[in-house]
Structure 1
């Protein structure tokens, strides 16, 4: 089988812009880690790690806003239905703005609850509180940006999300350097940089969406009527994806919580290593996003041959990229860690756990791709069930923590990714054999 067919080219046309734009997101995390990691205490790095985890848990619990938007938009795009395109934008956008305002209004008790659950070092928690009080002011923009990104991806307009993500994250990085290093605002500076960047990104996103609406034949009258109809399906879809996201965030939150109870050095080193993993995941998600768009389009058009061609291409190309990441971490992992923190004890500790950064790309790539297949087909129930299986495996593996220490945390994460991929693969195989993939999910 050739390694580069016409389907591979079609995949890269959508995936490559998304890869470049996606890696600006963890690049921001790299800069945050590097800037905060060069301050005079690991307490600052630990505080940002706890704050970032709490933010991720809350905002990513609402990731259904992007995922359902992408799936429904791609299906409407495949079916050539402008009214459905309008509905796929307006309904989740209203949900996003409403949820964001509620987070801002109730952020203080939410922050106290989050920090109480995490526990651990008081000095680390104090820095996390300072970070979160500012960071969560961005909630309306952050959640609305998820919807805009999902909609632009669903219509396969690759340049728009590239502009949306790259410009926003580059601005964030520049503000991060200025506020933290230049104005010495420490963790508050890192949080404020993100807030400003999110609202600027939202403005850019609205401009881009307006242009694409015109190109796709969506009229103002369609937008005015878009809040009506199919709300029950949207809510049911979002419910199942939210439960999936909850299980996902519980597992990743457990890593930070367990690490915090192993000491401030462990939580700091895990923050550095999770930044590498996040960088890898966002790059590989470029392929997953491309699969989402093609899967949804094929679902709307009921075109199984195109779907299968793109799936095979995604397996080939993303597998190669995952292998490249593993090779880089195996050969240069120590040097990368040294760039992220100047603290000798953190560098030495990180070297013990770098092997997991070699293993994880090769294990995780398959669950990312299969997520894309199921998101495009809006098969939320099966995604939820698969995540439940993986979360169960993760929880069982944590019982090895007293024996394996921090290695036990990384083993649990590896088991989690492997079970996600395996369970989705079995479901996908059954549907394909029985010819039921395009049945109403």
Structure 2
């Protein structure tokens, strides 16, 4: 048993988690601003933005290992007192992100039209989306450099500067959006150009942060290969999430407009609260990696217990709060009586799952901080294949409605909670030193 002295002060946890939440929330908040500007151009540009930005997010979300994997590797080195080596992990992640981003940018120039036409059919919406994507994906190298920057800076327990860098980039985009869209009359394409400008500023600030550290800036293939190994597991894990989430939306849409609208309302709230809880997981990653890097498994286990309880308390608080808002909050999103009548089919699952999500997200952060990505990959894939996906499609076949879809999510979350609790209790993840745990 670790003693009480190895607990981390609450202020330190919040000092890491709150700025991280700001970074996580900045992008969806900017997307709302972008949508507001484009929305005044008409239905077709707005639909084109919706389709293009959805594809953009789908692609970029598959590459979050540049943040989470880099945090795990960097935090261990930071905990061992090897800051220069920790920062060099950030250098290699930055090279990797830039290289992958360049490939993505070139690929999109070739496939933008067929992909958008596959999803939306031939016509003005697909044309608008393809035009937006071709410009917006020029910013892919900068987006991935920013992910890598977030990763290494979280690893050295600096979450404040990334918040400032992201806010600076988003502020520039927000200022340029109306200028490019309306004043210069570039329309929807102006939105994409503004995005790229903001992403370039943010990436430049992260690169500058590397340069002032005075470490070697040359690419090291051996480190990049090691990062790709961890990244493979995280990409597969993210793919499982995406398959489930897209299937849920697709099935809800086949159930009718009322069902998909109700699902969208509750789902967006679920995703927003996931960001809130994920900020605690980011704090856990940095603290766990540092404890293991300095060779203290007892301290890491103490942090794991502490963060798990915080996640549970936070989840209970969110669940109680949104239970109290059940009669008023959905009406903020729609006045359609049929949709409001359908919302409760998902709402009470959403409320009841918050404490479970709090524990799962906290322990995800613990295991990611330990570099235990292979275990998370395997258990997430099993939970998706055995629990969530079958319930989603059975709900369509047997007419179970949103209750069936959200029952699938509940089984998925319960399976994930069981898996991370068992792993946490086993202690097999608490491998000290500079090597992360292997599956």
TM superposition score normalised by structure 1: 0.81
Contact kept, 8 Å, 2:87 with 2:210, in 1: the verdict is no
SS of corresponding position for 1:284 = helix
Matched, 1:310 2:303: yes
Matched, 1:400 2:401: no
Following superposition, the deviation at residue 121 of structure 1 comes to 10
Question: For residues 33 and 338 of structure 2, what CA distance do their matches in structure 1 show?
Answer: 20
1:164 matched residue in structure 2:
165
Contact kept, 8 Å, 1:68 with 1:375, in 2: the verdict is yes
Distance 1:80 1:136, change over 3 A: same
User: Which of 27, 31, 37 is the aligned partner of 2:29?
Assistant: 27
Cα-Cα RMSD: 3.8
Consecutive unaligned residues in structure 2, runs of 5 or more: none
1:81 matched residue in structure 2:
82
My pick for the range that moved more, 21-30 or 51-60, is 21-30
Distance 1:170 1:266, change over 3 A: farther
Question: For residues 185 and 344 of structure 1, what CA distance do their matches in structure 2 show?
Answer: 39
Following superposition, the deviation at residue 50 of structure 1 comes to 4.0
My pick for the range that moved more, 284-293 or 121-130, is 121-130
Q: How many residues align?
A: 429
1:104 matched residue in structure 2:
105
Question: For residues 35 and 170 of structure 2, what CA distance do their matches in structure 1 show?
Answer: 15
Distance 1:149 1:247, change over 3 A: same
Question: For residues 145 and 412 of structure 2, what CA distance do their matches in structure 1 show?
Answer: 29
1:366 matched residue in structure 2:
359
Distance 1:247 1:276, change over 3 A: same
Of structures 1 and 2, the one with the larger relative CO (CA 8 A, separation 6+) is 1
1:216 matched residue in structure 2:
none
Following superposition, the deviation at residue 260 of structure 1 comes to 4.8
Distance 1:177 1:425, change over 3 A: farther
Question: For residues 353 and 285 of structure 1, what CA distance do their matches in structure 2 show?
Answer: 22
Following superposition, the deviation at residue 377 of structure 1 comes to 1.4
SS of corresponding position for 1:223 = coil
User: Which of 272, 296, 314 is the aligned partner of 1:279?
Assistant: 272
Following superposition, the deviation at residue 426 of structure 1 comes to 1.6
Distance 1:436 1:197, change over 3 A: closer
Distance 1:332 1:435, change over 3 A: closer
2:374 matched residue in structure 1:
381
Following superposition, the deviation at residue 411 of structure 1 comes to 3.5
User: Which of 230, 239, 243 is the aligned partner of 2:236?
Assistant: 243
Contact kept, 8 Å, 2:104 with 2:140, in 1: the verdict is yes
Following superposition, the deviation at residue 418 of structure 1 comes to 3.1
Matched, 1:290 2:309: no
Distance 1:53 1:16, change over 3 A: same
Q: How does 1:164-183 map to 2 (within 5 A)?
A: 164-173=165-174
Question: For residues 361 and 285 of structure 1, what CA distance do their matches in structure 2 show?
Answer: 12
Consecutive unaligned residues in structure 1, runs of 5 or more: 214-218
TM superposition score normalised by structure 2: 0.82
1:17 matched residue in structure 2:
19
Question: For residues 346 and 128 of structure 2, what CA distance do their matches in structure 1 show?
Answer: 26
